[in-house]
């Protein structure tokens, strides 16, 4: 009786356990169903985060920004050898199953049992895609159910080729490469469409253990796996025996591209102007946000000319190497170079320092230093706007000018009692610049500089000598006004930005606006051309640069900074050299010695194909002859009894006739000339 009672209790407990187990199983399945429904509602064939690619002015890739380096391509743009290798390796019955291959699962189970360990996986390509796109990597029974369920659901919504394309673009292939296109360019220096059987089998071999197999780290292991893939392709009839025989004898190392080829083909390995790219990157982050830039697959078309950039880097490093031989070793001498197209404002090249890896600080954009005499053209431009002309004589240069600190009279290398504006600029007269600033006025000069992009200038007499601080980018941009008829085109780095689908998100619009009269710009260009041909920048000519050009040197009194900004009608370039912690570059380290050779070396290469054109004179420019003694319009008697010189003036700016020389040759007391504006 007791035994019967115990048997009944045991059956009751067993029934209860069965019911509980069934209920738990139903609950687990119901939960999985809920999870699957939630995931399937956001089903897409998203290949994953995409790299943002940056292009130069000729639409050549120069860099990539990414969280996962991935460049999606269409299935038609992937080599058939690679596709076959992946199918043979990962899912031979891909086109036969409906997301889960039960035959393969059974086969892999038997193989694993025989080996006593897992030697084969049963997941299809669809399951692998689902796992990577929608699930985590935890190895649980419920995750495997979710994976299979979602794979079957995915195949009801999308075609086989769509799934295969998404998989090939998403799969990780080691060394930071996601998707076959990025890996193909990174490993072999070619797009995925051009892969041969050996290369296709190599990539397929990496899928199994992308982190365990390294093409450069463990080439023997990769080759063993690759040759197995080639053998399987041969057996499946996907590879010609002759191709197989020639493929298996190739060492893995022989298939890898050189660093130069990878740099040209893989934007992640390109080194297209690192200081320029860094500037563009910060602009993109500010406009689109970091997340969109690193994952959104933007296409960024910039203004950088990669050839001009290469010339800039070569010229800077060459000049630094030459100067290194002439100085005591210590803190490295630094340099920066910016090249801008005057008509558009497009930045064609940028060097921000000696070495970006060692010092990413951009000395072309972020460093502000005193430009010295390179600021003088803005004082002279203000004078021309006020009515002066290049031939106007300014005298009394031996007299001091008033300042808040008392009487002020600068020294200099080329000083005299009186001179014309043209001669003063050619010889970089400090006293002439200070006197001219006083006569034109601080406020008009500061306002003109601000219009040209140089703001926050100090209201002191020494401003004429460049005691305000500027960046090389802004100073070079300001000089483009002289080459562009008085129009300022702000520096432009990005032409347009497109999203991954080709929609334009941003396009640079011309923002040019007039900041100088056309006459003033032309006259300034003429005066600055004399600086190159006869003045402090003549070293550019002795260095072999022969195209018509204008420019101005700039050196600080202590020789801590050396500048030269020069231009042709088609290209303006600025060079700065100095130390990050200001100190003397070298004894008598004038810009003519330090910076001009770097500029000349760069411009000779950057303008090789340019014609020897110069800026066309605007309407209203008149060539006149001045009397050297009076500054007035020369008469026939000035030619007989005095000296005359040529000048150019704008419309309505011609001086009165000389009042000093007459038919009798007598010289009368000079009178005030309307052509010379009075001092304020």
Does residue 257 sit in helix, strand or coil?
coil
Considering the domain architecture, whether residues 605 and 664 belong to the same structural domain is answered as: no
Considering the domain architecture, whether residues 514 and 643 belong to the same structural domain is answered as: no
Q: Phi and psi dihedrals of 123, rounded to 5?
A: -75, 135
* The domain boundary residue, chosen from 468, 487, 522: 468
pLDDT mean over 360-381: 97
pLDDT mean over 648-663: 82
pLDDT at residue 28, as a whole number? 45
Considering the domain architecture, whether residues 388 and 477 belong to the same structural domain is answered as: no
Considering the domain architecture, whether residues 359 and 245 belong to the same structural domain is answered as: no
In SS3 terms, 255-320 reads as HCCCHHHHHHHCCCCCCCCHHHHHHHHHHHHHHHCHHHHHHECCEEEECCCHHHHHHHHHHHHHHH
Considering the domain architecture, whether residues 464 and 488 belong to the same structural domain is answered as: no
Report which DSSP code applies to 116.
T
Give the whole-angstrom CA distance, residue 292 versus residue 331. 39
Considering the domain architecture, whether residues 339 and 382 belong to the same structural domain is answered as: no
Place of tokens 């006569």: 439
Does residue 409 sit in helix, strand or coil?
coil
Considering the domain architecture, whether residues 113 and 250 belong to the same structural domain is answered as: yes
Arithmetic mean of pLDDT over the chain: 87
Give the whole-angstrom CA distance, residue 327 versus residue 167. 58
pLDDT at residue 149, as a whole number? 86
Q: For position 441, which CATH number holds?
A: 3.40.710.10
Alpha helices in 441-572 (DSSP H): 442-451, 472-483, 518-534, 539-542
Question: Is the residue at 31 inside a domain?
Answer: no
Q: Are 142 and 28 in contact (CB under 8 A)?
A: yes
pLDDT at residue 145, as a whole number? 82
Question: Is the residue at 276 inside a domain?
Answer: no
Does residue 466 sit in helix, strand or coil?
coil
In the predicted model, is pLDDT for residue 35 greater than 80?
no
Q: CA-based Rg of the chain, rounded to a whole angstrom?
A: 37
Question: Is the residue at 630 inside a domain?
Answer: yes
Q: Which tokens sit at 453?
A: 């992009």
pLDDT mean over 266-270: 89
Considering the domain architecture, whether residues 520 and 556 belong to the same structural domain is answered as: yes
CA 177 to the chain's CA centroid: 23
pLDDT at residue 258, as a whole number? 86
Considering the domain architecture, whether residues 651 and 632 belong to the same structural domain is answered as: yes
Q: Phi and psi dihedrals of 383, rounded to 5?
A: -65, -45
Better pLDDT: 114 or 649: 649
Residues annotated as catalytic (active site), given as ranges = 90, 373
Give the whole-angstrom CA distance, residue 410 versus residue 562. 19
* The domain boundary residue, chosen from 213, 246, 265: 265
Give the whole-angstrom CA distance, residue 95 versus residue 319. 63
Per the structure, the count of domains in the chain is 4
pTM here is 0.87
pLDDT at residue 438, as a whole number? 92
- Other Cβ atoms less than 10 A from the Cβ of 112: the count is 15
The edge-to-edge listing of strands for the beta sheet with 347-351 is 347-351, 334-340, 572-578, 561-567, 550-555
Residue-wise pLDDT tens digits, 57-85: 999 999 999 999 999 999 999 999 999 99
Q: Which tokens sit at 3?
A: 């035994």
Considering the domain architecture, whether residues 77 and 181 belong to the same structural domain is answered as: yes
Give the whole-angstrom CA distance, residue 66 versus residue 52. 6
* The domain boundary residue, chosen from 468, 493, 512: 468
- Please choose, from the candidates 569, 550, 573, the residue with its C-alpha nearest in 3D space to the C-alpha of residue 611: 569
- Other Cβ atoms less than 10 A from the Cβ of 93: the count is 11
Give the whole-angstrom CA distance, residue 564 versus residue 576. 7
Residue-wise pLDDT tens digits, 521-557: 999 999 999 999 999 999 999 999 999 999 999 998 8
Question: Is the residue at 11 inside a domain?
Answer: no
The domain of 117 spans 72-265
In the predicted model, is pLDDT for residue 417 greater than 70?
yes
Residue-wise pLDDT tens digits, 461-514: 999 999 999 999 999 999 999 999 999 999 999 999 999 999 999 999 888 999
Place of tokens 């020789």: 559
Q: Which tokens sit at 555?
A: 């050196």
Q: Are 80 and 288 in contact (CB under 8 A)?
A: no
What percentage of the chain reaches a pLDDT higher than 70? Answer: 87
Q: For position 140, which CATH number holds?
A: 1.10.3810.10
Question: Is the residue at 13 inside a domain?
Answer: no
Q: Phi and psi dihedrals of 498, rounded to 5?
A: -120, 155
Considering the domain architecture, whether residues 549 and 633 belong to the same structural domain is answered as: no
Considering the domain architecture, whether residues 93 and 138 belong to the same structural domain is answered as: yes
Give the whole-angstrom CA distance, residue 491 versus residue 629. 44
Strand 177-178 with 69-70, pairing: parallel
């Amino acid at each position: 009786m007791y035994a019967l009672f115990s048997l009944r209790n045991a059956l009751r407990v067993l029934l209860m356990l069965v019911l509980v187990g069934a209920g738990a199983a139903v609950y687990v399945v119901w939960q999985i169903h809920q999870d699957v429904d939630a995931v399937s509602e956001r089903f897409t064939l998203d290949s994953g985060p995409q790299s943002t690619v940056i292009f130069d002015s000729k639409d050549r890739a120069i860099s990539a920004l990414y969280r996962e380096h991935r460049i999606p391509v269409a299935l038609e743009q992937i080599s058939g050898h690679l596709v076959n290798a992946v199918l043979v390796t990962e899912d031979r019955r891909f086109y036969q199953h409906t997301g889960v291959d039960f035959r393969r699962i059974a086969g892999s189970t038997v193989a694993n049992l025989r080996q006593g360990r897992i030697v084969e996986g049963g997941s299809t390509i669809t399951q692998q895609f689902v796992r990577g796109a929608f699930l985590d990597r935890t190895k649980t029974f419920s995750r495997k159910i979710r994976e299979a369920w979602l794979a079957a659901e995915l195949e009801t919504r999308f075609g086989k080729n769509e799934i295969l394309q998404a998989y090939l673009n998403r799969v990780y292939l080691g060394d930071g490469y996601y998707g076959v296109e990025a890996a193909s360019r990174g490993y072999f220096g070619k797009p995925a469409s051009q892969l041969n059987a050996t290369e296709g089998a190599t990539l397929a071999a990496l899928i199994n253990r992308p982190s365990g197999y390294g093409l450069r780290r463990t080439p023997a292991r990769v080759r063993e796996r690759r040759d197995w893939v080639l053998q399987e392709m041969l057996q499946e009839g996907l590879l010609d025996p002759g191709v197989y025989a020639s493929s298996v004898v190739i060492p893995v190392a022989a298939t890898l591209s050189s660093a130069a080829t990878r740099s040209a083909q893989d934007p992640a390995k390109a080194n297209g102007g690192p200081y320029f790219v860094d500037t563009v990157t910060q602009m993109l982050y500010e406009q689109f946000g970091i997340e969109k830039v690193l994952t959104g697959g933007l296409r960024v078309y910039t203004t950088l000319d990669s050839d001009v950039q290469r010339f800039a880097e070569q010229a800077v490093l060459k000049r630094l190497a030459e100067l290194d031989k002439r100085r005591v070793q210590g803190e490295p001498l630094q340099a920066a170079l910016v090249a801008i197209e005057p008509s558009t404002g497009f930045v064609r090249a940028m060097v921000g320092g000696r070495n970006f890896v060692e010092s990413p600080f951009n000395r072309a954009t972020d460093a502000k230093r005193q430009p010295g005499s390179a600021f003088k053209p803005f004082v002279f431009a203000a004078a021309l706007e006020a009515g002066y002309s290049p031939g106007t004589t300014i005298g009394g240069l031996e007299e001091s000018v008033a300042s808040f600190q008392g009487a002020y009279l600068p020294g200099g290398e080329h000083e005299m009692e009186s001179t014309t504006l043209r001669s003063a600029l050619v010889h970089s007269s400090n006293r002439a610049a200070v006197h001219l600033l006083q006569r034109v006025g601080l406020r008009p000069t500061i306002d003109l500089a601000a219009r040209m992009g140089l703001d926050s200038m100090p209201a002191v007499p020494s401003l004429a000598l460049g005691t305000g601080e500027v960046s090389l980018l802004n100073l070079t941009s300001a000089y483009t006004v002289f080459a562009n008829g008085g129009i300022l085109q702000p520096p432009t780095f990005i032409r347009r930005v497109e999203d991954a689908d080709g929609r334009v998100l941003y396009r640079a619009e011309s923002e040019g606006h007039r900041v100088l009269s056309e006459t003033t710009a032309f006259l300034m260009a003429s005066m600055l051309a004399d600086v190159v041909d006869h003045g402090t920048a003549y070293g550019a000519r002795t260095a072999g640069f022969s195209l018509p050009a204008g420019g101005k040197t700039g050196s600080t009194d202590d020789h801590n900074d050396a500048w030269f900004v020069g231009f042709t009608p088609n290209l303006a370039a600025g060079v700065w050299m100095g130390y990050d912690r200001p100190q003397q570059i070298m004894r008598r380290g004038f810009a003519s010695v330090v910076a001009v050779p770097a500029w000349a070396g760069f411009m000779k290469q950057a303008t090789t194909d340019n014609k020897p054109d110069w800026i066309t004179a605007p309407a209203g420019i008149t060539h006149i002859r001045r009397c050297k003694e009076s500054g007035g319009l020369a008469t026939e008697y000035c030619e007989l009894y005095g000296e005359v010189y040529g000048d150019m003036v704008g419309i309505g700016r011609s001086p009165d006739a000389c009042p000093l020389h007459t038919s009798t040759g007598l010289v009368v007391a000079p009178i005030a000339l309307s052509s010379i504006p009075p001092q304020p």
